Amino acid sequence: MLKIKTLAKVLIVFLVCYTLFALFKNYNFNPHYEIGQKLDSLNGIYIYYNGGVDNVLERNLTIDGYNIGLKYQCVEFVKRYYYECLNHKMPDSYGHAVNFFDKDLKDGTKNTKRDLIQYSNSSFSKPQSNDIIVFDKTLFNPYGHVAIISKVKDKSIEVIQQNPGPFSSSREVFAMIRKGNKWKVEGNRVLGWLRIGK
């Protein structure tokens, strides 16, 4: 009987903590920015502040009904960038960030849902500017994350991202190494990158 009561108490504490955590992920803790405020841009396409990472305002659709994504999530920026800057529509315009990467595909093959060439981390193809980089999900983020590679150097890449969190930067740098003929972006969450095929 004592074990059941203890287990019930632990379960209640867990549920309360999880509920509070979920609520806080929607709340804007940073008083320096307002939701929807412009923070950064790449090639004229803006990054907007989203507040809490789970905050959602509305769905962004083009005039012809193409789904850009939920304002101002990471996916919304990536797809808006590809649509407005690169004139690219994805055949499957839905799905979370982690769904951009198909783990069943071989390095350098076509991801038909996104109509992009997919490269694994590590890959024979070095990341390039304008590639979409895909990050895996975590315990506290089951949706994953996507960003655009904005700069590539010999040993690092810079990404530009929307909705990294209320206090995180829109730009982030990751180390990159070359082992043999393959390129690897450091970070255990990096699944790979996607690119418009030639």
pLDDT at 8 over 80: no
| Each residue's pLDDT tens digit, 121-180 | 999 999 999 999 999 999 889 999 999 999 999 999 999 999 999 889 999 999 999 999
**pLDDT for the residue numbered 22:** 46
pLDDT attached to residue 52? 87
The rounded mean pLDDT for the chain is: 90
**In the predicted model, is pLDDT for residue 183 greater than 80?**
yes
Sorted by sequence, the CB contacts under 8 Å of residue 105 that are 6+ apart come out as 111, 118
Spatial distance between the Cα atoms of 25 and 50, rounded to a whole number of angstroms? 11
Strand partners, 70: 59
Cα-trace Rg, the chain: 19
For residue 196, give the nearest of 48, 90, 70, 43 by alpha carbon.
Answer: 90
Please state whether beta strands 109-111 and 182-185 pair in parallel, antiparallel, or not at all (unpaired): unpaired
Q: How would you classify residue 186: left for phi > 0, otherwise alpha for psi between -120 and 50, otherwise beta?
A: beta
Q: Is the pLDDT at 5 greater than 70, yes or no?
A: no
| 26 has pLDDT over 70 | no
Q: For domain 25-195, is the CATH number 3.90.50.10?
A: no
Q: What is the pLDDT, as a whole number, of residue 177?
A: 97
| pLDDT at 1 exceeding the cut of 80 | no
7 sits in which H/E element: helix 2-24
pTM of the model: 0.87
84-111: per-residue pLDDT in tens? 999 999 999 999 999 999 999 999 999 9
Percent of the chain clearing pLDDT 90 (strictly above): 75
The predicted structure's pLDDT at residue 83: 98
